[in-house]
Each structure stands twice: as structure tokens, then as C-alpha cells.
Amino acid sequence: MSADAEEQQREQVETTDVIICGCGPTGAILSALLGRKSVKNVVLEREKEVVTDPRGIALDEDGIRLLQEIGLYDKVHGEIGECLAQIYFTSGREGLMTKPFMHMDMSTTEGGSGHVGGICHKQPVMEKYIRQVARGCPSSELRLGCTITEIAEDKDSVRVKYIDDKGEERWLRGKFLVGADGKTGFTRKRYLEPKGVVLETLSGYEYQETWVAVNYHMDLPTPEMHPDFPLWKLGYTPQDVYDAFFPTGFRFIGNPDRPSVCGTFGPRKERLWRFEYVVDIQKGEDPVEMATYDKMAAVIFPYLTHPGKRYGLKDPVQYPTDCIHVLRSRPFSFSARSCNKWSVGRVMLCGDAAHVMPPFGGQGIASGFRDAAGIAWRLGLACRSGFDQSHERLFNGWCLERKQQLDRSIAATVANGDLTTARSPIKIFFRDWILWFMQLVPSWRHKLRLGPRANGMGRYNYTEGMAFLPDLFGGRQLPQVYCQAVASGKAAAAEVQFTDDVIYRPESSSFLRLLVLVDDLEQVQRAREELEKLKVEDVSAGEVKMDEVCYLVTSPDCEAGRSSGAMMDAKQRVYRLATGDEFLASGLCKDRPPPIGYDMYRIKNELGGRRYVLVRPDRFMFAACYSGEELVSACRRVSKALYGKAEAEADGEIGIKL
């Protein structure tokens, strides 16, 4: 190519800050997170429409919290899905109504996020709404029907060549590239694997199985269409029949002949059902053949056939097969693997491109969401004008944190799988009896019912390079509770809100948010005066802004004007705790279970008397301080924690250049 042609090509290259390869759940939510922070990004996706095949069907409370962050909370319960409710673990071959040897209650609000433990969702609907959020951000652009053909990188940027939806070849240049294009996507398979990035089996989690995943839609049988169905004579309605054969909750079926998992996904009124079962490769079963209708029916339909004695009848009763419509039946190989590197130069991996895991914990999409939440704010920092720090250390800190979280997610997922896939009679016997005995002790029974939530909220064990201050209580996930604004007059007149929504505001450009906990309204003014005296905004180089500080009165019983404190107005960002009953009466509780187990003092109790909390955008605490002096010290250490070096001192204070 001539010099003139090369120059012409360079002039035609479009530019952005972040290029995102793939617009599945991870890529879409990353675009939404960046767009809400005015970070320019372009998403390149091969498919022109949302894939209609529901693959993932479960999302934990961290995932719900992120949907809330991008403004989709009102869609979570009712349109995207509904509460996962109960998860049952059963043994034997007696069908879906077998008495469980253990169950987890996901309907409570005991995890510390203010949400239920999880939802069963329709992935295409969730993706549709996430894309709508991204499209609504002026800084985000989704380019669908685009196929990536080349990635090139230099010291200051990364370029992508792709074929657009009109068949034309185009180039796009960005400061960074995020591969969220799946385990077989171009970013890892074609670009990073030659650079030594490989998907490795995780030590201690050598799980490798092939399963068939089947999605059904059920029609309701009717007396007109099925006049000989025996349950009509017993007074059953069509809905009663459906509920009898497809009970609520999710079931891990420990059938030693063929472990299986099944349950409703999406809103229950839509009558969607997922059934997954193991393919026995050692016995010569072919995965593709086991996904055919006849083989699938031989495995699943016995679970949809009840013994007649349950109804006082002589003959077995089967759900009418003409009411069962197969939407999808496909084999999948499940394993627990993670890439040895998630970030090389200016290219990083998220979601299934970086890690894969078995389906037993509903952690696939949630893990991708956590990837996006952790990398989004770091990309926001690295894309700032005049950024001259080490982006390698910044992104390495993300890798360290996420791999630690991933290990925990996989451990919980594999533990669920072990409960389900045991086939040895001896192992099954001891499993059932040990769990039966544990449930005789109330405290143990409660922990078992909480499931993974019994381990508490997320917390990092510090390793050099992580972006928080371990000596100042950093690295812990900030709980979320409910609150109401305190203003002149009756505080009860204010609407109930989530604390995340009052601490974080999309229009803010600061990296850290400061939450100040106070016991009463008198302390608000004293805390404000202390922050101004200590020049917190100056010492943080504007990363803590006084007009964005959020004050939380750690009591539900306060209102402006009752005490000697100053009268409050909406601009002062003063809130008080809201009770579970107040939340229940609010619109936020619509279509979801009541907040059973909600602890409105969760933030206060976990902070143990610390008053000043510096919170990162991903809801993890950078530092939590007892005093203003500790807070100033924490602000001075931001640069070192992020980039590995402190700024030069000036006039006795350290400025933070971010």
C-alpha cells in the first residue's frame, strides 16, 4: 500500500474511547454503565437482533442490583422475571413432588442488597431492556450485524476492522477494547490466544459434564380439548392441573440414574419451563441423540406422569403431551474454567470470553455483570482527558479482584452440583442423613436455607494491586437498605428509595462517593462543617465533591424541624432509614415478595461505628473511617492504591491527579 493510501485509510478510521465486542448481557450492560458516565463506547455485535433462545434463566441479587443501577428495577419483577423463591434438593426417582432433603429460600431479603436472593428471568427480555438503556445514552452506540475480522494494537490505542451490516469493511479505533463475545468469540480465540491467553480448568474444580437443556412452553389443558382427562371429575381447573404438574420453585433432582434440574423461568403466568439432564458419556450416550424429541421425552415425561393413587385413581395421570411445546433442546458441555489472563495491553475479556462455569448456581450472567461493573469505572478513569497513569496496574487490580470473586462463585456452583449429581448410594446416604441432622439445629437450618447468602456480602482478601485500603476497612461490599429523604415537614411524605440510588447519581463525574453516617439531624451540620474545615474536596482533587456527599441518619424516627438542627431541603441530600413496612407500602415492592428478613441497620452494624465511607462505583468500599482525619488520609492514598505511586507533596498535602 502506498503512503498516500495509508494516510487516506488513517483519516477514515472512526474513533471512540472503548470498543466492546459482543452485545450479549455482559457487553450490553457494560455499554450502559459506560454510557451513563458519558464514556464514549461502540458495541460491535454479529447478530442483528437479540437472540430469542433463553439460555441463562437465573440472576442473583448482585445482578438485580446492577439492573437497578441502570434504571431497570421497575422491569425486574413482572416483565423480565419474578422471584426465584424456593430451591429444592430432592433425592430418588419419585418425581417433582418428592420431599426435599434440603431447600434454600431465595424469597427473603437477607443478603444485604435490599433485594430477594434471585430471580428466574427471560434472558431475551432482559437483554432487550439493557440495550434500550444503552441506546438511550448519547455516549453509547450499538452497531449490530457487524463481524470483526482483525484487531491491531499499539502503545496508545487499539484498532478493529469489521464488516458492517451493509457488507462494507470499516475500521474503528479506541483507547481500549473489551471482548465480551463469548467463549468462541474472535477476541480471545483469534487475537489473545496467540498471545498466550488460554481457558484453563480451575484447580480443585475439575467438573466436566455434558447436559441437555430443554425449554418448554405449556398450554393449559381444557375440558373441551381433553374431555377424558381424569382430573376434571375431581374438580380441577386447567390452572390447578398446571400447578399440580409444574410446581413452583426450582428443583435439583438427585436421581442417581440421571441427575436433573428443572423449574419455571420468566413470569410464571407465561408457563415457561426449563429441564436439564445429564448425558452419560461413559455409557456411550450421544449428546445430540439425547437431545432428540424421543430421547428427551423418555427422560422428562415420566416426571410429568403422576401415580393414580395420588388422586385416588387406578391409572397413572399424565399431563397432556399435546400441551407441551419444545422451544429448544440442545446439548451443552459444562465445565469450570477461567482464562489465565483477563487483560493484555489495551485488550481485556469479560463474561464467557473470560470464564465459564456449570449452571448449578445461576452465576453465569451474574459473573459477567460483575466483570462489567468492576471494569466500567476503571475504564472511565483511564479514558479521562489527560490520563497519564498506569492503566496496566489499574486493570490488573480488576483481574485480581474478579478472579477472587469468581473462585467463590464457582465453589458455590460446584457445591450445588455435588448435591445434585451424586450417584454413589453410599455418598447419597451420608449426604441425606448429614443434611437431615444439620437441619435439626435452628441456626444451621437457617444457614442452609440462605444458601450462598449465609457467607455474607462480597469481600476481597487484599492482594497488592487491589484498589482499596485494607487497613481502613476497604474491600467490603456496601450493603443496600431503604431510605427516605428528610426535608421540612413530615419525612414520611417522601418516597421510599434504595440507598444506592441516593448515593450514586449518573450525572456525577467523581470517582468516589462519600457516605456519612449520623445518629441524628444535629450531627449533619457538624459533619458538614468538619468536612469543609478539613478541605476534603481539595485534598481529594475533586474526587469527593461536597455537593454530592450523602448523609444517612441511622434511625427511621426523625424529621426536620423536630430537633434543633437546621431545616433540611432536598439539595442537602439528607436521608433517614426506612422500615420494611414502609418499603412494603411503596411502589418498589410491587410484584415482589415482602422484605422478610430485611435489616434496616445493616449498613450501620457492618461499619461498626465508622462514620465516613468512601465507596467505589461498583459498591465496594474504598475506605471506611472513624474520623475526618482518617478520611483525609484515605483521600491522599487514592492514587497509590489505584496506580501504585503517590503524587508529589505540595504545601504539606498530597493532590490526587486522576
CATH code assigned at 373? 3.50.50.60
In CATH, what number is assigned to the domain containing residue 310? 3.30.9.10
Residue 114 has pLDDT above 50, yes or no: yes
- Domain range for 270: 77-118+208-335+448-456
- Bridge-based pairing of strands 513-518 and 41-45 is unpaired
Amino acid at 400: L
Considering the domain architecture, whether residues 634 and 520 belong to the same structural domain is answered as yes
* Residue 121, beta-bridge partner list: 81
Considering the domain architecture, whether residues 276 and 357 belong to the same structural domain is answered as no
| pLDDT higher at 335 or 605 | 605
The verdict on residue 360 lying in a domain is yes
3-state secondary structure of 103: strand
**Strand order of the sheet with strand 260-264?**
102-105, 86-91, 250-254, 260-264, 272-279, 208-218, 324-335
| pLDDT, position 581 | 96
The verdict on residue 628 lying in a domain is yes
| pLDDT, position 571 | 60
**Strand order of the sheet with strand 41-45?**
140-144, 41-45, 18-21, 176-179, 347-349, 343-344
| pLDDT, position 560 | 57
Considering the domain architecture, whether residues 607 and 463 belong to the same structural domain is answered as yes
Q: Which band of pLDDT confidence, cut at 50, 70 and 90, is reported for residue 418? A: low
Q: Of 305, 239, 225, whose CA–CA distance to 271 is shortest?
A: 239
Considering the domain architecture, whether residues 215 and 113 belong to the same structural domain is answered as yes
Total domains in the fold of the chain? 3
Q: Of 658, 517, 486, 514, whose CA–CA distance to 600 is shortest?
A: 517
Listed range (404-418, 467-481, 572-586) with the worst mean pLDDT: 404-418
Q: Which band of pLDDT confidence, cut at 50, 70 and 90, is reported for residue 496? A: very high
Q: Which band of pLDDT confidence, cut at 50, 70 and 90, is reported for residue 51? A: confident
| pLDDT, position 236 | 97
Q: How many CA atoms are closer than 13 Å to the CA of 41, on its beta-carbon side?
A: 35
| pLDDT, position 654 | 32
Residue 656 has pLDDT above 50, yes or no: no
- Mean pLDDT, range 369-389, rounded to an integer: 92
3-state secondary structure of 190: helix
Report the percentage of the chain scoring pLDDT > 90.
64
Whole-structure pTM value: 0.92
Q: Which band of pLDDT confidence, cut at 50, 70 and 90, is reported for residue 652? A: very low
The verdict on residue 388 lying in a domain is yes
Considering the domain architecture, whether residues 214 and 284 belong to the same structural domain is answered as yes
Residue 559 has pLDDT above 80, yes or no: no
d(CA 126, CA 303): 30
Amino acid at 108: T
| pLDDT, position 410 | 74
| pLDDT, position 477 | 97
| pLDDT, position 563 | 46
Listed range (238-252, 402-416, 644-658) with the worst mean pLDDT: 644-658
- Angle at alpha carbon of residue 616, lines to 611 and 620, rounded to 5°: 75
Q: Identify the domain boundary among 434, 456, 478.
A: 456
- Mean pLDDT, range 439-449, rounded to an integer: 89
In CATH, what number is assigned to the domain containing residue 540? 3.40.30
- Residue 6: exposure state from Cβ atoms within 10 A (0-12, 13-18, ≥19): exposed
Q: Which band of pLDDT confidence, cut at 50, 70 and 90, is reported for residue 657? A: very low
Q: Give the highest mean pLDDT range of 471-475, 486-490, 528-532.
A: 471-475
Q: Identify the domain boundary among 456, 481, 512.
A: 456
Q: Yes or no: say if 541 and 636 are a contact pair by the CB < 8 Å rule.
A: no
| pLDDT, position 650 | 33
Listed range (162-171, 201-210, 617-626) with the worst mean pLDDT: 201-210
CB neighbours of 302 closer than 8 A, spacing ≥ 6? 95
String of DSSP letters for 126-169? HHHHHHHHHHTSTTEEEEES-EEEEEEE-SS-EEEEEE-TTS-E
Considering the domain architecture, whether residues 184 and 273 belong to the same structural domain is answered as no
pLDDT digits (tens, 9 = 90+) for 196-242: 998 887 666 666 788 999 999 999 999 999 999 999 999 999 999 99
| pLDDT, position 569 | 53
pLDDT digits (tens, 9 = 90+) for 449-462: 998 888 888 899 99
What average pLDDT does the chain have? 88
| pLDDT, position 507 | 65
Q: Which three cell numbers stand for residue 98?
A: 418428592
The verdict on residue 66 lying in a domain is no
d(CA 188, CA 79): 34
3-state secondary structure of 600: coil
pLDDT digits (tens, 9 = 90+) for 90-105: 887 777 878 888 899 9
Listed range (65-74, 397-406, 429-438) with the worst mean pLDDT: 429-438
Q: Which band of pLDDT confidence, cut at 50, 70 and 90, is reported for residue 323? A: very high
Q: Of 301, 376, 304, whose CA–CA distance to 97 is shortest?
A: 304
Buried b (16+ CB within 10 A) or exposed e, 278-302: bbeeeeebeeeebbeeebbbebbee
Q: Which band of pLDDT confidence, cut at 50, 70 and 90, is reported for residue 420? A: low
Listed range (130-139, 160-169, 491-500, 555-564) with the worst mean pLDDT: 555-564
The verdict on residue 224 lying in a domain is yes
Considering the domain architecture, whether residues 307 and 353 belong to the same structural domain is answered as no
- Mean pLDDT, range 262-276, rounded to an integer: 93
d(CA 500, CA 517): 14
| pLDDT, position 416 | 65
The verdict on residue 68 lying in a domain is no
SS3 for 525-589, per residue?
HHHHHHHHHCCHHHHCCCCCCHHHCEEEECCCCCCECCCCCCCCCHHHCEEEECCHHHHHCCHHH
> Could you tell me where the beta strands, DSSP code E, fall in 69-139?
81-83, 86-91, 102-105, 118-121
Residue 658 has pLDDT above 70, yes or no: no
Buried b (16+ CB within 10 A) or exposed e, 514-531: bbbbbebbebbbebbebb
pLDDT digits (tens, 9 = 90+) for 513-530: 999 999 999 899 899 899
| pLDDT higher at 194 or 408 | 194
| pLDDT, position 361 | 59
The verdict on residue 656 lying in a domain is no
Q: Give the Cβ contact number of residue 594 at 10 Å.
A: 14
| pLDDT, position 131 | 98
Report the percentage of the chain scoring pLDDT > 70.
89
Q: Which three cell numbers stand for residue 44?
A: 460491535
Considering the domain architecture, whether residues 519 and 589 belong to the same structural domain is answered as yes
Considering the domain architecture, whether residues 108 and 138 belong to the same structural domain is answered as no
- Mean pLDDT, range 326-348, rounded to an integer: 89
d(CA 498, CA 647): 36
d(CA 226, CA 237): 12
The verdict on residue 462 lying in a domain is yes
Considering the domain architecture, whether residues 126 and 259 belong to the same structural domain is answered as no
| pLDDT higher at 181 or 427 | 181
Q: Of 143, 200, 165, whose CA–CA distance to 19 is shortest?
A: 143
* Residue 98, beta-bridge partner list: none
Q: Which band of pLDDT confidence, cut at 50, 70 and 90, is reported for residue 359? A: low
Considering the domain architecture, whether residues 331 and 342 belong to the same structural domain is answered as no
Considering the domain architecture, whether residues 83 and 192 belong to the same structural domain is answered as no
Q: Yes or no: say if 551 and 575 are a contact pair by the CB < 8 Å rule.
A: yes
